Every structure is written in C-alpha cells, then in structure tokens.
Amino acid sequence: MTKFYITAAIPYVNAKPHIGHALEFVQGDVIARYHRLAGDETMYLTGSDENALKNVQAAEKAGQEVRAFCTLHADEFVELAEKLSVQFDVFQRSSSEKHHVSSQELWKLCAKNGDIYKKTYEGLYCVGCEAFYTPDELNKNGECFEHPGKKLEKVGEENYFFKLSSYKEKILQLIESGELEIIPEKQKNEVVRFLQGDVRDISISRSKERAHNWGVEVPGDSTQMMYVWFDALNVYQSGVGFGIDEQKYKKWWPADVHLIGKGIIRFHAVYWPAMLLSAKLPLPKRIYSHGYITVNGQKMSKTLGNVIDPIEIIEKYGVEPVRYYVLREIPTTEDGDISIDRVGEMYSSALANELGNLVSRLAKLCEGSSIAATNVKTFSPAVSQAINRFALRGALDDIWNRISALNKRISDEKVWEKKGDDRLKTLNELVAGVIAVGYDLQPFLPETAKRMLSIFTEKTITQPAPLFPRLSA
RNA sequence: GCCAGGGUAGCUCAGUGGUAGCAGCGAUCCUCUCAUAAGGGAUAGGCCGAGAGUUCGAUCCUCUCCCCUGGCACCA
C-alpha cells in the first residue's frame, strides 16, 4: 500500500472563509478522495496560520484577545470543511505548542548547517505591509505597490537571515528538471524567472516588539520571533509529527502534493525547498497552484462588499452543486468567475437536467427488469489521468460527455419502445455506463455518486426521488 | 514602470499559413415521450482588438499601437 500525502494551504484566520477557500478545500478533497478510493493510505492536511501579524492587528481591531480571536476563525474554517464534505485528516493550528516545538526544531537544523546568521538590517519599511522593501521593489514614487500613497519609513533592526542565495542554483535545477514539479506551467515559469534573477537572503525573524509578542520564539534568542512564513510552511511537517513523532513523520513526509493559491507560489517553490534543503530533509514532490475566484467579473474585496460566503450558496443550492461549480466552472489552475445566478444555471442544466434526469429516466426504464449489476472497482483511465495531472475540470468534462452520450443513446434507440432481450441487453449496457459514471464521480460529488451506485446496484431497481430537485424559484 | 500571458459567435472558450469551431452555456425553432415540461436534433450570418509588414495568400509569422489579466517578497 502506498501512502499519499496532500496539503492545502493554511489560511490566515483574520477573517471568515470565502468562496476561494472553498475552492481550494474542495480541489484537495477530490484528489484525496481519489487516492483513498484507489487504495492509497491517504493524509489530507490543512490548518491555520495564526502567527501572522495580520491576525494580531485584526484581533486588536475586533477588541479581542489574539488567541481567542484565532480560535473563533479557525473553527469557521473547520466548519466550512465539514459543510463542503471536505475530509481533512489533520487540521494543524500554528499556534499549537507542538507546532512551535516542531518549528524550532527546523530552525535549529538550518542553523546547525550554518544557513542562519544575524545581520543588522536597515531598510525602507512599509507600515501597511509591515514589511521591508528595497528601492527597486517600489513604484516610481518610492511607495510599495500594496499601499500607494503611503510613505515608507527608514527602520533599522537586527534580524536573523536565511541564506536563501545558497540554494538558488539547486532549486532552479530541481524545478527545471521537473524533480520538483510545478503545475501549471505558467506558475513554474514565473518561479524559474525569479530564480534566474537576483535572489537575496531573506530575513526570517523580527523583534518581539514588532511581532507584538505573538508567534514562535527563535530558539536561543528570546528577543526575536520567527518570520511568519518560516513557521507557517512547517505546518506541513509539524502536522505529521516532525520534531514530535519521528515514526509518524517518516511515514508521511515528504508531501506528495502541496495545493496552494497562485499568490503564494514563491514561498512554496523557493523558500520552502530551500529551508528543507538546508535542514537536509526531503522535498515535496509536486506543487499544484490554482487561481482566484472573481465575483461577477470583479475581484472579491471587502471594500466592494462582494465577498461570497460559501456557506450561503451551500444553503441555497446544497453542497454538491457548490462542489460541482468550483470544480467544473472554475478552470482548475486559472482564475474563474462565480455568480449566484450562474450556480443556479449550472444546477438546472448539468445537475438536474442532464445527470439527475438521466438517473431518473433510466431507473424508471429498468423497473420490472432484472439488471445484473456490474461491479466497478476502478476509475476510468481518462479520469485517473486527468486527476493525476491536476486537470479536475478535464475529468468532469469527460464524465459529462459520457452522461450526454447515455442520454443520447436512450433517445436515439427509443429504449422505452424496446421489448424482451433487446431491451434487457440495452438496459444492462446503459446501467453499466451509469455505474461507471457514478464510480468516477465519487471524488467529486461523493453523496450523489453514492446514491447513483446504490440505486443501480439494487436487486430491483426502482425510480428514486430526484437527485437534484427542480428549483422552485 | 518592469516581466509574462491574452484580446475569436451574447457569455465561457478551442483552433489552423490558404473559405473560422460537430465545442459548452444562454437564445430561437423542430421533435420524441422512458424521465425532474427533463431528453434528442437544427439554427444562431462573429470585420478572429487596431494599423502596417513578410507572403501568391494571415485570424494564426514580424513590428508598432490600444485594451485586459496576472507576477513584481508575507493575498486561497
């Protein structure tokens, strides 16, 4: 039995989840479910990024204690996963004691290898980003791109630095050779271009004061806290026992897939491998990067007030239509758009009319006939291949082509007019087709798939209640 | 500003050096009746962003321009 370990990025918990988080959770869930069904021992992990300064600021704004604030939001992500039928095996909070110990362990390994050094850093500091910039990273007015109009301050501070520059060539080679695979190509190219440029060492700590005394303390220096990404990335390891449970860690690490949003590719494809190389630990095998969701063609933003709460759509249409939408309508590795109306359209056309009605009509046609249930135990090659290439939408395209073909066959052959052996033979073939569809659909729409398989493997097939009832409105 | 990728039917997109696509959704029309008034079929007359060049010939090659999107160190 092979193991399969996939991670979803750990979200900041400074606000409640939006539809973008749902997209990533569901994508990862499909891949995890696929591997579980294929017989792999599977681990699907996510967690929460709680040590970020943003959380401290958000908590202060909300007038709450940081830890309580984080717990509140972390719970919302756990709840979202449940409502989406997303099965995480581990939800690792980065504020947990174990995670702190684990991250300090990683730090020590990098330090032992001589890759961490102290340096007084003087630079231009953007209060909005709470980050330093070099002049060439700024716009022509000398302001950062995130906060145009905001003057930068000159700040000096002694920090720990990580020798990222030492690993530039090695990582470039790993990525170009495909040993560390990045999908899609577009993101891979951006990482390669970055690595071909001037890669500088990065600051990996900040003063405790600047960190508002929140985060993971640097081992052996109680005046410094780890830069949040240093510990955040380590969630992928701490969640499977790194520095805590060696046996467990050895079993799961390295990750087979890191699933992330395109905005954090650099951390996963450059910093993270560098840290692991420094610590002499195995590297993740693949990075899948997905796009962002726009709403009615616009970026989601709190200012615009167009943030879509996935829970709301789930309540309106149900879980599986939401899963279907983000998997089929949103290009797997690119940006896509969502609107409530569009979800409704998809519900009617693809789910109720095509799939739901197919199940209904075929079940009805089968009533009174004894159908020999086929026992499918594997995914179709097309679907397997698509999932392994992170082409989730492609897999659904294939499945829906088959659904259309089944509907067409029923009409073309006027199955309802057939009699005797001819009818029985045709029905058997059609049922086999639907069962195969149901099997392939399991990772995507688990509940629907389960019902389909159960309906058509019964000894006597009877017409079920609609899988996707027509919407009244 | 710099870098990358795009601008093709109402929408989402595919595509090729030689009259643009059996594409999907929506729309319109026709049609079956097993089915959730679902299914199936047909149609939709789009200057393939603008201009110039290369070529016998370009939507696809080159150049310029316009527009959009993405990346530019803490955003799923």
Q: Above 70 in pLDDT, residue A131?
A: no
pTM for the whole structure: 0.91
Q: Is A212 a catalytic residue?
A: no
Task: Match 């009818």 to its residue by tokens.
Answer: A423
Full set of structural domains in chain A with CATH: 340-468 (1.10.730.10)
The pLDDT confidence band at residue A221, using thresholds 50, 70 and 90, is very high
Range scoring the smallest mean pLDDT among A127-131, A226-230, A288-292, A402-406: A127-131
Mark the nucleotides of strand B covered by protein, meaning any atom under 7 Å from a CB: 1, 3-5, 12-13, 25-26, 32-41, 69-76
Structure confidence at residue A465 (pLDDT): 94
Catalytic residue (one of A302, A377, A414, A419):
A302
Closest CA to A239 of A1, A8, A71: A8
Q: Above 70 in pLDDT, residue A147?
A: no
The helix, strand and coil proportions of chain A, stated in percent and rounded to the nearest 5, come to 50, 15, 35
Measured CA to CA, the distance from residue A218 to residue A107 in angstroms comes to: 8
Which tokens in the block code for residue A173? Answer: 């080679």
Q: Above 70 in pLDDT, residue A152?
A: no
Q: Above 80 in pLDDT, residue A149?
A: no
Better pLDDT: A307 or A10: A10
Beta-carbon contacts of A206 under 8 Å, excluding residues fewer than 6 positions away, are: A157, A159, A224, A225, A227
Residues A157-180 pLDDT 10s:
788 999 998 998 899 889 888 889
Structure confidence at residue A354 (pLDDT): 92
DSSP string, A326-391: IIIIS-TTS-EEE-HHHHHHHIIIIIIIIIIHHHHHHHHHHTTS--------S--HHHHHHHHTT-
Q: Above 90 in pLDDT, residue A199?
A: no
Residue A148 CA and nucleotide B1 C1' are separated, in Å, by: 14
The pLDDT confidence band at residue A263, using thresholds 50, 70 and 90, is confident
Q: Above 90 in pLDDT, residue A454?
A: yes
What does each C-alpha distance from A318 to A85, A238, A315 come to in angstroms? 11, 34, 6
Q: Above 90 in pLDDT, residue A344?
A: no
Strands annotated E in A217-292: 217-218, 221-226, 257-261, 286-290
The pLDDT confidence band at residue A213, using thresholds 50, 70 and 90, is confident
The ipTM value here is 0.81
Q: Above 70 in pLDDT, residue A151?
A: no
Q: Above 60 in pLDDT, residue A139?
A: no
Closest CA to A183 of A324, A394, A444, A398: A394
Q: Which residues 277-296 on A are within 7 A of strand B at the CB atom?
A: 290, 292-293
Nucleotide nearest to A349 (CA to C1'): B25
SS3 A99: helix
* Angle between helical axes of A420-441 and A392-412 (0-180°, round to 10): 170
Alpha carbon dihedral A138, A140, A146, A150, in 10-degree steps, equals 100
Q: Is the CB of A129 under 7 A from strand B?
A: yes
Better pLDDT: A197 or A439: A439
Average pLDDT, chain A: 87
Catalytic residue (one of A144, A188, A290, A366):
A144
Q: Is the CB of A252 under 7 A from strand B?
A: no
Nucleotide nearest to A271 (CA to C1'): B73
Structure confidence at residue A269 (pLDDT): 92
Quote the distance between the C-alpha of residue A44 and its chain's center. 10
Helix (H) or strand (E) holding A310: helix A310-317
Q: Is A144 a catalytic residue?
A: yes
Q: Is the CB of A418 under 7 A from strand B?
A: no
